[in-house]
Amino acid sequence: MRKALEVVNLNASYGSTSVLHGITLHVGDGEAVALLGANGAGKTTTLRAICQMLVRTSGEVKLFDQPIRGKATEQIARLGVGHVPDGRGTFLALNVEENLRLGCFARSERDGVEQDIERIYEYFPRLKERRTQQAGTLSGGEQQMLAIGRALMARPKLLLLDEPSFGLAPLMVKEIFSILRRICHEQSVAILLVEQNAGLSLKFATRAYVVENGRVVLGGTSDEVRSNDAVRRAYLGD
């Protein structure tokens, strides 16, 4: 399988605090991969380091064989990386459709914007119903949908999702993950998913990595990771 993302020996630090120590992982073209780990393990920092956001990094990051480390965050977005950060990054004072249109900033050609907005409304009918509603008045789940929709407006080849289930009711989580599965299959968008909810991520992803103290300590198919005793005890509550 062609690699959408390849990360080799990635180190990252905030100022003088070193947080990632040689992370190596990959995501295949159109594949969904989960990154599991406890609070503070370095999952969010891994996504930030891939996008060159807020952290100093060394190591190698390639998107479809093209090195992207060292490029500015905006250039990385233009090369096809859509980052949906924790906290979601939605413009709360703008309405739903204005937020979606802002998602176009990272695409080279402006044709097809209206069709893309309609495509996102097909995935997220709730957003269509609320297209003129101010984002700040949406529910948490609807804001998460909007953040994903906005990232999709850039036509990414790889989506980095940081805790999309955080703070949401179980039914909303189910709805969002079933839409993400469709997006991954129908649009062939690769996904690197960070989640505290290990059970959910292992159902969603075909492979997973476990991060502890800034290092990958385990990687494999979701079935292999799920059947690991340490994972069962630490993350699946068995």
* Adjacency order of strands within the sheet including 3-14: 17-28, 3-14, 56-63, 66-67
214-232 b/e with 16+ CB inside 10 Å = b? bebebbeebeebbebeebe
Residue whose CB is less far from ligand ATP, 15 or 170:
15
Consecutive H or E run containing 34? strand 32-36
Candidate list 9, 14, 169, 233; residue touching ligand ATP; CB under 6 A: 14
Q: How far apart are CA 116 and CA 127, in angstroms?
A: 13
Q: What is the dihedral of CA 125, 129, 176, 54, to 10 degrees?
A: 120
Candidate list 4, 32, 37, 208; residue touching ligand ATP; CB under 6 A: 37
Answer yes or no whether residue 43 interacts with ligand ATP by CB under 6 A.
Answer: yes
Site string for ligand ATP, 175-204 (x = CB under 6 A): ---------------------x--------
In terms of Cβ atoms closer than 10 Å to its own Cβ (0-12, 13-18, 19+), residue 98 is middle
Answer yes or no whether residue 143 interacts with ligand ATP by CB under 6 A.
Answer: no
Q: How far apart are CA 179 and CA 189, in angstroms?
A: 12
Residue with tokens 């999952």: 43
Candidate list 2, 18, 22, 40; residue touching ligand ATP; CB under 6 A: 40
Residue whose CB is less far from ligand ATP, 12 or 158:
12
Q: How far apart are CA 58 and CA 10, in angstroms?
A: 6
Answer yes or no whether residue 167 interacts with ligand ATP by CB under 6 A.
Answer: no
Site string for ligand ATP, 67-86 (x = CB under 6 A): --------------------
From 42-50, 104-112, 118-126, 216-224, span contacting ligand ATP (CB under 6 A): 42-50
Candidate list 45, 143, 165, 197; residue touching ligand ATP; CB under 6 A: 45
From 13-21, 95-103, 132-140, 229-237, span contacting ligand ATP (CB under 6 A): 13-21
Binding interface with ligand ATP (CB under 6 A): 14, 17, 19, 37, 39-45, 54, 196
